[in-house]
Amino acid sequence: AQSVTQLGSHVSVSEGALVLLRCNYSSSVPPYLFWYVQYPNQGLQLLLKYTTGATLVKGINGFEAEFKKSETSFHLTKPSAHMSDAAEYFCAVSDLGSGGYNKLIFGAGTRLAVHP
């Protein structure tokens, strides 16, 4: 069965610093991977996804993630943090045993704080 682990429930960075949010997954088959962002009092918004092809995936707001099969990782990065990046970030993997129903398995989330 698939699962997702996000390392660090809280991450704090300075404005302009590198953002690195870690995600490791377990899957017995090639996974489909997603990063979502949740701003305060809002639903989840897709940042980026990996399905097939290029392992470096670019998303919205300057974020990108690299799929590393050997490390079973899909870490999210942004070269320079902005105050508006403060939010909670969720990594998710498709539950491919769900018969095409598109079920997702989510990590516990990482809350990113950006300070001046």
Query: Can residue 67 be called a binding residue for other proteins (CB under 8 A)?
Result: no
**Which residue is associated with the tokens 């001046």?**
116
Q: Which stretch binds other proteins (CB under 8 A): 13-21, 32-40, 55-63, 74-82?
A: 32-40
Q: Which stretch binds other proteins (CB under 8 A): 12-20, 62-70, 72-80, 91-99?
A: 91-99
Pick the binder of other proteins from 12, 14, 51, 80 (CB under 8 A). 51
Choose among 112, 113, 106: nearest CA to 23: 106
Choose among 81, 96, 103: nearest CA to 11: 81
Q: Which stretch binds other proteins (CB under 8 A): 38-46, 53-61, 63-71, 73-81?
A: 38-46
The torsion angles phi and psi of 58, rounded to 5 degrees, stand at -100, 140
Query: Can residue 86 be called a binding residue for other proteins (CB under 8 A)?
Result: no
Query: Can residue 76 be called a binding residue for other proteins (CB under 8 A)?
Result: no
Strand 110-115, strand 10-14: pairing = parallel
